[in-house]
Structure 1
Amino acid sequence: MTAHRSSRRGFLKVSTAAVAAAAAARPTILRGAADSTAANSKLRLALVGCGGQGRGVMRGLLGAGAQLVALCDPDAAQIDRGRKDAGDQGKDAKPYEDYRKLLDDAGTFDAVLVGTPDHWHAPLCKAFMKAGKHVYCEKPLTHSVAESRELRELSRASKVVTQMGNQGSASASLRRCVEVIQAGALGTIREMYEWGVGVTAREGSAEGEDPIPQGFNWDLWVGPSAMRPFKKDVYHPFRWRGWFDFGNGGLADICCHTINLPLRALDLDYPSKIVINMEDGKQVKDKAAVEFHFPAKGSRPATRLHWQGNGLPPAEVIQPLKDAYKGKIPGGFGIVLVGEKGCIYTSHWNTGALIRLTGEDKPKDVLHHEATKDIPQTLPRVGNHQQEFVDACLGKGKTFSDFDFGGKLSEIGLAGVLGVRAGKSLDWDGEKMQAANAPETTKFIHQEYRKKWLT
């Protein structure tokens, strides 16, 4: 939303061929077609992790035509909630406390929805993919950088469909933003701003101990992480997100939504530097909590993503949005990509994007902007994220956020978490998964598992 002056007609002269070529060169292709599930059969689904997010995605998959056959969770109460939320399909779903028992019955299901806390994502995805099952896993894909890399490599070698649960990937809004940005409508983009989500979480464990509820296998819930006493309303069911051992805080939670559009539209590689503006665990005033510095690539110059955390973007960036929404931005958070010819704002979920070109008073819906209407559609449109997964498992199309793409997205966000945990800026080598100036982060990159509950 800078005041640069340029013609709004210039970018409309981009040819269809040029746009198509640009799109082909960027990581926006669809991957992950099914190899084995019959096109006209029902997709038999097992839900592993029956918490609120898992149940919500389950309902979407059932609505897309999947058939629920199993519910797995170390907490029997969560299984009961999953059965209730599944309606008629929940009546016959077989319950499992231990996912390894579910693996013993591998012939009874085709696909798995992993809706557990983050620390279980990688072990479960790996186990089920090796068993030949299609896997939909909630975001972030994993709990550590090295886990993401391992799942990316496994997904390339596997003949199963994968999809990470950043549901906004299926939105027409995100896909149109990619097309518009790659067509050059915003010109060169050097700065991006995210706001409304903090980056901190807690190390260690809570003090004290409470009785473990009946029907809850706490040892299994902790799984590969370091064991600790059970404490009521501290970790389970949802507060695990605020502990680094289980969820890595807000940055890990939201990165796969927020960085989704920039990664696709700008063909970003790993950041080469991650700047941490935190002192004693508190964000430095008037600075972004975390800055991701992405190097130049081809004709695209270097660009920065400012993860504002508890702060806001500069006034000249945020004020037009406040004006458009009469002083209050819906949800209180989002991301803005600022180019030399204009900017795009979108929610964290990659929906409801608005574009404002230089010289325009107010941002407008990116799907219905008069000046960009001639930019061709190069990406397919789908009903929703869950439908895309079900269809791909049945041999109809491919997924847009497969584990290869989702894993890279997770690696980038989790690299920021490393800086937060280390309390220092990182000289980051994404390919090698290491920070030369912070060897102390190695233990977080390559985590040691408690092996009791692993396959």
Structure 2
Amino acid sequence: MKSENSKRISRREFIGTSALAIGGLTLVPAHAVAGLGHVAPSDKLNVAGIGIGGMGSGDLEDVAKTENIVALCDVDWSSQVENVFKLYPKAQRYKDYRVMLDREKDIDAVIVATPDHTHAVISMEAIRRGKHVYTEKPLTHTVYEARMLTEAARKHNVATQMGNQGQAGDGPRRLQEMIHDGAIGAIEEVHVWTDRPNRGLSDTYWPQGVKRPEDMPPVPETLDWDLFTGPAPLRPYHPSYHPFRWRGWLDYGTGALGDIGCHSFDSIFRILKLKYPISIQGTSTLVNGDSFPLGSMVTYDFPARGDMPPLRLSWYDGGLRPPRLAEIVPGVEMGAGGVLYVGTKGVILGDRLLPQSLDDTYKRPEPYLKSSPGHRQEWILACKGGDPAGSNFDWAGPLTETVLLGNIALRPELREKMSYQSLNFDPETLSFPNMPEADQFLHYEYRSGWTL
């Protein structure tokens, strides 16, 4: 018989416990035991997927190797989503994440892989309910949303991770070891470029540099367009927005910079100890207020950090890229996308030291930075009481803010003024002291019925 002072340990409390002593015996959860090849049912997270037709399906596939998938939610029950439903026949199915969270009381963690404009409202709802959250990149649609999510995750003490999977790779770790070893000396410039939104010479991943369509085809029977729209302005449905092609529209996406920046900037921020820029400049092909430009260049200036000098980080998209430096001799390919570190002794293009004479003489340090167990695995372990994941919101929030500040510098409303001054950012007041009219683009007024 239990004493009246005995306390019932909930399943969620048990998940966060590394070992439980009972009657002199120690019961060790399976995740703490190497080599067993299984996970005890009581030690599995109950995970819900929100937005499962695209990247979310891959997130679920990885997490399902060790955890329970108990609920699935998507606003469009297309054939693609129906195929994901079939993979998890025991999972409950929903179109509205709010209904799902109300009904499924035993959810421990959620994966948010919806279009950018709904990341924040969904993630915040889950955080406030005490759920652990994995949110695809970019973390949010606006700078303000990124700040609010970061603070909320800290307040509610939940495990978080943004979906910039490359941060878990060994390549960035080896690069960090080289740069911290002084392989190319002090670094004052970094260039990052991508061909997105281009897929090739005659095709694009999604439309940019175009006006909003005017025709109004019928909404597909499988799609709840109101739920897709969420906090954004309600527009007539069009296949130019969904499926997938939402990324280039200001209402729903964050353009090429939002798509790639949280990947490409991550290792740069870690290696060079960056956080917030002090000023941003932007220039682009002509913009129209509906979609992102076909090509753009954004320059961020960061202050000195310890013994590291001030840094200029330059971004190029739409097929634009930096000029070839003298160290990049003929025959060395810049590529459609890449990262170039410029130091006082030489440069690093990808993982290649240049000039070649430097690569021939430099001895790379022995690896010392610990490998990751895997990007999503980091989050799973954090949910169970382990170390914070590598791209938890304390890290991913400021990174996302910086990425999205670049999109503000490209706003058509600021184009003329940006031609004769930089945009200065104050992270403490979350404002632009030298251009107050830019503050409005840190966030936007949600559609009626939606709050953060």
Q: Same fold (TM over 0.5)?
A: yes
Aligned-pair CA distance for 1:35 = 7.4
Q: What are the within-5 Å matches in structure 2 for residues 78-89 of structure 1? A: 78-84=80-86, 87=87
Per-residue CA deviation, residues 196-222 of structure 1 (Å, 9 max, x unaligned), is 245895687431211111131101110
The yes-or-no answer on 1:355 pairing with 2:352 is yes
Residue in structure 1 matched with residue 162 of structure 2 by the alignment: 164
- Three-state SS of the structure 2 residue aligned to 1:336 is strand
How far, CA to CA, are the matches of 1:344 and 1:82 in structure 2? 42
Of 425, 441, 446, which residue of structure 1 is paired with 2:443?
446
Is the contact made by 1:71 and 1:79 (CA closer than 8 Å) also made in structure 2? no
Using the TM superposition, give the Cα deviation of residue 187 of structure 1 relative to its aligned residue in structure 2, in angstroms.
1.4
**Pairing 1:207–2:214 present:** yes
Q: Distance in 1 between matches of 2:152 and 2:383?
A: 17
Deviation at 1:36, TM superposition (A): 6.6
Q: Report if the CA contact (8 A) 1:136-1:164 is conserved.
A: yes
1:230 and 2:224 correspond: no
Amino acid at match of 2:357: E
Match of 1:426 among 403, 423, 427: 423
What is the aligned partner in structure 2 of residue 415 from structure 1?
A: 405
- Relative to 1, partners in 2 of residues 1:247 and 1:207: Cα closer, same or farther, differing over 3 Å? same
CA pair 190-42 structure 1, distance change in 2 beyond 3 A: same
Indicate how the Cα distance of structure 1 residues 317 and 107 shifts in structure 2: closer, same or farther if over 3 A, else same. farther
Task: Mark the CA change 1:359 to 1:328 in structure 2 (over 3 Å): closer, same or farther.
Answer: closer
Offset at 1:106?
4.0
Alpha-carbon offset, residue 297 of structure 1: 2.4
1:427–1:265 distance in 2 versus 1, CA, 3 Å:
same
Matched, 1:316 2:317: no
**Per the alignment, do residues 165 and 429 of structure 1 end up closer, same or farther by CA in structure 2, a change over 3 Å counting?**
same
Q: Which residue of 2 aligns with 1:289?
A: 297
Counterpart position of 2:363: 371
Offset of residue 453 of structure 1: 4.9
Question: CA–CA distance in 2 between the matches of 1:133 and 1:338?
Answer: 42
2 CA distance for matches of 1:420 and 1:247? Answer: 14
2:342 aligns to what? 338
Q: Which residue of 2 aligns with 1:398?
A: 388
Kept after mapping to 1: 8 A contact 2:327/2:354: no
Which amino acid in structure 2 is aligned with residue 146 of structure 1? Answer: Y
1:61 counterpart residue number = 63
User: Does structure 1 retain, via aligned residues, the 8 Å contact 2:327–2:346?
Assistant: no
TM-score scaled by length of structure 2: 0.80
How far apart are 1:405 and its partner, in Å?
0.5
CA distance in 2, matches of 1:449, 1:202: 24
Structure with the greater alpha carbon radius of gyration: 2
What's the CA shift string for 1:110-143, capped at 9, x where partnerless?
Answer: 1100000011111111110111111000001000
How much has 1:308 moved relative to structure 2?
A: 2.3
TM-score (norm 1): 0.80
Q: Between 251-260 and 205-214, report the one with greater CA deviation.
A: 205-214
Query: Which residue of 380, 384, 389 maps to 2:370?
Result: 380
Q: How does 1:186-205 map to 2 (within 5 A)?
A: 186-197=184-195, 201=208, 205=212
Aligned counterparts, 1:90-239, within 5 A: 90-197=88-195, 201=208, 205-231=212-238, 233-239=239-245
**Alignment RMSD (CA, Å):** 2.6
Q: Percent identity?
A: 38
Match of 2:47 among 45, 56, 73: 45
Give the secondary-structure state (helix, strand or coil) at the position aligned to 1:344.
Answer: strand
Q: Distance in 1 between matches of 2:194 and 2:15?
A: 41
- Residue identity matched to 1:371: K
Please state how far the C-alpha of 1:383 moved relative to its aligned partner: 3.1
**1:373 counterpart letter in structure 2:** P
Cα distance in 2 for residues equivalent to 1:182 and 1:362: 16
Q: CA deviation at 1:357?
A: 5.5
Contact 2:178 2:365 in 1 (8 A): no
**Partners of 1:183 and 1:432 in 2: CA distance:** 36
Q: 1:307 and 1:408, CA in 2 relative to 1: closer, same or farther beyond 3 A?
A: same
Identify the structure with bigger relative contact order (alpha carbons < 8 Å, sequence gap 6+): 1
User: 1:86-112 CA distances to partner (integer Å, 9 max, x unpaired)?
Assistant: x3xx11111011111111134232110
Instruction: In structure 2, give the amino acid aligned to 1:50.
Output: I
Unaligned runs of 5+ in 1: 1-33, 347-353, 364-368
Amino acid at match of 1:72: C
Query: Which residue number corresponds to residue 350 of structure 1?
Result: none
How big is each residue's C-alpha offset from its partner over 1:259-317, in whole Å with a ceiling of 9 and x where there is no partner?
A: 111111111131111112336339xxxx9711111122222211111112232222126
Quote the residue 1:351 is aligned against. none
SS in 2 for 1:372: coil
For residue 420 of structure 1, give the secondary structure of its aligned residue in structure 2: coil
2:273 corresponds in structure 1 to: 267
Partner SS, residue 413 of structure 1? helix
Given that 1:427 and 1:435 are in contact with CA atoms closer than 8 Å, whether structure 2 keeps it comes out as yes
Q: Answer yes or no: is the 8 Å Cα contact 2:328–2:354 preserved in 1.
A: no
Taking the aligned partners of 1:447 and 1:192, their CA distance within structure 2 comes to 31
**C-alpha distance after superposition, 1:141-186 (max 9, x if no partner):** 0000011011111122222110000000100111222233233332
User: Where do residues 247-262 of structure 1 align in structure 2 (5 Å cutoff)?
Assistant: 247-262=253-268
Q: Could you tell me how far apart the structure 2 residues matched to 1:151 and 1:439 are?
A: 24
CA contact (8 A) 2:328 2:355 kept: no
CA distance in 2, matches of 1:388, 1:265: 20
**C-alpha contact 1:256 1:413 (8 A) present in aligned 2:** yes
Runs (5+) with no aligned partner, structure 2: 1-11, 19-28, 30-42, 198-206, 289-294
Q: 1:212 to 1:359 in 2, by over 3 A?
A: closer
